[in-house]
Structure 1
Amino acid sequence: MNRPDQAIYLISTTISENDMGDFIEAKTKRLVFAEKKSIRQSEFYQAKATGLRPELSFVVWTREYAGEGKLEFDGKEYNIIRTFEPNSEDTELTCQGLVNGVV
C-alpha cells in the first residue's frame, strides 16, 4: 500500500432496545488513515448489474479493519459493500454512498 493519507472513520453499529421496546442504533466511529483509489470500470459495471453503485474505494491496513459495515469520508457516510484482501497487509473497502442514511 502507498502511504495512507486520507482520514476516514470506520463506523460500527450496535442495536439495542430501550425500556419502551424501541430499537436504538448506536454508532461508534474510529479514525484510521487510508489510500483512496478509483473504482475499476469492470467492477463498476459488475456491481451495477446486481443493483449496487460503488462510488469510492479505500485501502486500509488489515490489522486496523474490524469488519465495520460503514465508513465516513469528507463528512459523508458510505456503506461498505465489498471487502477484498489483495495481500496479508491490506484490505480494500469498496463503498456506496448513503442519502439521508439510506442506500
Structure 2
Amino acid sequence: MSWDYELTLIRPGEITQDDIGNQIPGDPVETVVLCKLQSVGRTEFYNAAVAGLRPEMVFVIHGYEYNYEQSVRFDGVLYRVIRTYATGFEELELTCERVAADG
C-alpha cells in the first residue's frame, strides 16, 4: 500500500468571547495529510452496527500527524472518526463513518 490519497483532518476552532461574554466559535482548523485506504473488516462492521455505528472507511495516517481530530474530509465527503487504532510505531488507523447531510 502506498500513501496516494489526501485526507483533511478537521479540528474545531478556538472559542472566543465577545464584549458581553457570548462564546463565539472560531473557524475550523484543517490540516491536509497523506493517507492509505483500507476496508472495514466484516467483524468490525457488524460489531459496530450492534452499537449503532456505521463504519465506512479506514484511513491509515502517520500517528504524529494526528491531534485527536474528530472530523475528516476525504474526496469531498465529511466523516466522523469513531475509532483510532495504532497498528505500529508510526501508523494509526482512523475508522470513520459518513456524516449525514442536514435536511
Secondary structure in 1 aligned to 2:48?
helix
Structure number, greater radius of gyration: 2
Whole-Å separation in 2 of the counterparts to 1:87 and 1:29: 25
Deviation at 1:24, TM superposition (A): 2.5
- The aligned length equals 100
Match of 1:70 in 2: 71
Deviation at 1:100, TM superposition (A): 2.5
Match of 2:7 in 1: 8
Deviation at 1:86, TM superposition (A): 1.3
TM-score, normalised with respect to structure 1: 0.87
Whole-Å separation in 2 of the counterparts to 1:85 and 1:77: 22
TM-score, normalised with respect to structure 2: 0.87
Does the C-alpha gap of structure 1 residues 25 and 53 become closer, same or farther in structure 2, counting only changes over 3 Å? farther
My pick for the range that moved more, 15-24 or 85-94, is 15-24
Q: Deviations over 1:25-47 (max 9, x none)?
A: 53111010100111000000010
Identity over aligned residues, as a percent? Answer: 32
Give the counterpart letter for 1:79 in structure 2. R
Moved over 6 A (4+): none
Secondary structure in 2 aligned to 1:10?
strand
Whole-Å separation in 1 of the counterparts to 2:37 and 2:92: 12
Whole-Å separation in 2 of the counterparts to 1:44 and 1:23: 37
Which structure 2 segments of 5+ residues have no match?
none
